[in-house]
Amino acid sequence: MTPEILNLEPKPIWTHFAHLNAVPRPSKKEEQVKAFMKDFGASLGLETIEDDIGNIIIKKPATSGMEDRKTVVLQSHLDMVHQKNADTDFDFLTQGIQMYVDGDWVKAKGTTLGADNGLGVAAIMAILESKTLPHPALEALFTIDEETGMTGAMGLKPGVLLGDILLNLDTEEDDEIGVGCAGGIDVTATLSYFQDSVPQNSLAYGLTIKGLQGGHSGMDIHKGFGNANKLMSRLLFDGFNRFGLRVSTIDGGSLRNAIPRESSAVVVIDAVHQTAFEQATNDLILAIEKEFKTLEPELIMAVNPTQLPKTVMALEVQQPLLKALYVAHNGVYRMSPDIEGLVETSNNVARVLIQDGQVTVGCLTRSSVESSKWDLAQALKATFELAGARVEFSGDYPGWTPNMDSSILNVLTRLYVQLNGTPPHVAACHAGLECGILGTHYPNMEMISFGPNIKGAHSPDERAQISSVQKFWTFLKAILADIPKR
């Protein structure tokens, strides 16, 4: 981190963000950041608790004259997506994020920035610490494990919170007010396979794909970015059909909610096909790079000779598996017929790992319509079951149904126009927000989501706009000062 970060305006947010980003906080590894938040609450003399699942809740009384206003829950999640470039030496379990300023943007050196949802956490910390900002009674809810399962929101028990209104600070467009989101489900295919010895007179090649943009598998899924797992399946399918290519290993993607940026594979061919295979594969690589030259200008695909492995997949397993990977749906499945421009249903083929006799394929299927979500999930299940895999569903969470008659929506819309002179974009999003889950525990609580501009979330290109954080801070303070009476 450079000293520039601490000098940015608004200083209360950027200072807390810098301190937060010094604490390792990958999903499911939040012990350090939970201790950090509990120490923060205690240092302010505020009631601070950790619930049964591990969420941190800090309560602050209303400022003078605001005691008759509705109680507000300020909510953000503590964990962050841990993604880094392949050539970046960084340990998310022990190191703090290395930030720097680039014009109007704050970025990280080769890793995700953690602005999703660290800026929301930092803004809440700034409100809790302030002795001058007017606000009603507050309950700050810092949930855990939002990015890899939403277990914090799922495990929050009814009755823990007393708030009337929940402000979720996890939206990534500063002109947007979120009133709904998609639900999701993990689809995981696994398969054990026999390994064959490498045939005589074989040559080995390493196939690599890197340099893709990646991004958020909900917010960016409609942008047509390349998926490294699907591009790799094209190379493998072509090589198998034309030259009898055999697969030794595949390692592509990482997190279920990040569009895969990189993939690598080790394959074997008969030496007799050497010249033809190299020419055909390079021709296909050139064709794919041409397809994606506008959206993926940094895409690099390569085929290079490598050391001969000891084993390859048994042919009777490899053939149907390559077909399943090739046909498995990735990207937008259906656009909403009711909300213009909204992705209704999608899938991200997020993770493909084949090695040592084991196959794992992980997908995240999202939809704002439950029946459509299950339709696509079942289609994926059928696809991989045809290849002999076992398919499991897990992490099912509901969407958030828009309430266009919400009183807090009216407040935010009015204030946005007063502050900016133009109306906000009121919308549902294709990302998974915790509001849908929290709403099942607190059905009478009004909920709304907003935040500053964050680009490239869930990728090492993640960046937060400094001027937008200033706009967001002004908006948040105005909202808290204008909460309706009970």
423 and 371 within one domain: no
226 and 307 assigned to the same domain: yes
> Which DSSP symbol is given to 340?
T
Instruction: For residue 486, tell me if it sits in a domain.
Output: no
- Count structural domains, the chain: 2
In the chain, count H helices and then E strands.
Answer: 11, 23
The Cα 88–Cα 84 span in angstroms is 6
Give the active site residue among 79, 116, 164, 174. Answer: 79
Q: Do 336 and 470 reside in the same domain of the chain? A: no
What pLDDT score was predicted for residue 2? 66
Provide the 3-class DSSP secondary structure of residue 239.
helix
Same domain, 216 and 149: no
Task: Please tell me whether residues 320 and 431 are part of one structural domain.
Answer: no
69 CB neighbour count, 10 Å cutoff: 22
- Distance CA(328)–CA(343), nearest Å, equals 19
Tell me phi and psi for residue 48, to 5 degrees. -130, 125
Q: Are residues 141 and 248 in the same domain?
A: no
21 and 130 in one domain? yes
Angle between helices 11-21 and 466-481 (to 10 degrees): 110
Contacts of 29 (CB under 8 A, 6+ apart): 79, 92, 93
Distance CA 1, CA 129 (A): 23
Read off the CATH number of the domain in which 378 is found. 3.30.70.360
The residue out of 397, 426, 457 marking a domain boundary is 397
Ranges assigned E (strand) in 254-318 = 263-270, 300-306, 311-313
Q: What is the pLDDT along the chain (486 residues), one digit of tens a residue?
A: 568 999 999 999 999 999 999 999 999 999 999 999 999 999 999 999 999 999 999 999 999 999 999 999 999 999 999 989 888 999 999 999 999 999 999 999 999 999 999 999 999 999 999 999 999 999 999 999 999 889 999 999 999 999 999 999 999 999 999 999 999 999 999 999 999 999 999 999 999 999 999 999 999 999 999 999 999 999 999 999 999 999 999 999 988 889 999 999 999 999 999 999 999 999 999 999 999 999 999 999 999 999 999 999 999 999 999 999 999 999 999 999 988 889 999 999 999 999 999 999 999 999 999 999 999 999 999 999 999 999 999 989 988 988 888 899 999 999 999 999 999 999 888 988 899 999 999 999 999 999 999 999 988 999 999 999 999 999 999 999 999 999
> Are 313 and 352 within 8 A, CB to CB?
no
Residues 165 and 261 in one domain: no
Is 146 catalytic? The answer is: yes
- Rounded to two decimals, the pTM is 0.79
Claim to verify: residue 147 and residue 258 sit in the same structural domain: no
Residue 238, C-beta contacts closer than 8 angstroms, at least 6 positions apart:
280, 281, 284
CA–CA separation, 318 and 194 (whole Å): 10
Separation CA 306–CA 266 (nearest Å): 8
Show the beta-strand stretches assigned E in 290-341.
300-306, 311-313, 331-335
Q: Which residue range is the domain that position 218 belongs to?
A: 185-397
Domain boundary among 351, 379, 397: 397
Catalytic residue among 30, 139, 146, 186: 146
Among 375, 397, 419, which residue terminates a domain?
397
Q: Which CATH number is 163's domain given?
A: 3.40.630.10
pLDDT at residue 1, rounded to an integer = 55
Phi and psi for 347 in degrees, rounded to 5?
-140, 145
Indicate whether 111 belongs to any domain. yes
Q: Looking at the structure, do residues 277 and 376 belong to the same domain, yes or no?
A: yes
The Cα-based distances of 443 to 168, 440, 479 in angstroms read 15, 6, 22
Neighbours of 31 (CB within 10 A): 12
- Identify whether residues 377 and 389 lie together within a single domain: yes
CB 370 within 8 A of CB 401: no
Phi-psi sector, 298: left (phi>0), alpha (psi -120 to 50), beta: alpha
Q: Are residues 148 and 78 in the same domain?
A: yes
Q: Which residues contact 95 (CB under 8 A, 6 or more apart)?
A: 24
Give the phi and the psi of residue 322 in degrees, each rounded to 5: -60, -35
Cβ-contact 53, 156 below 8 angstroms: yes
For residue 434, tell me if it sits in a domain.
Answer: yes
In a domain, residue 118? The reply is: yes
End-to-end Cα distance, the chain: 44
DSSP state of 368: S
* Active-site residue, 434 included: no
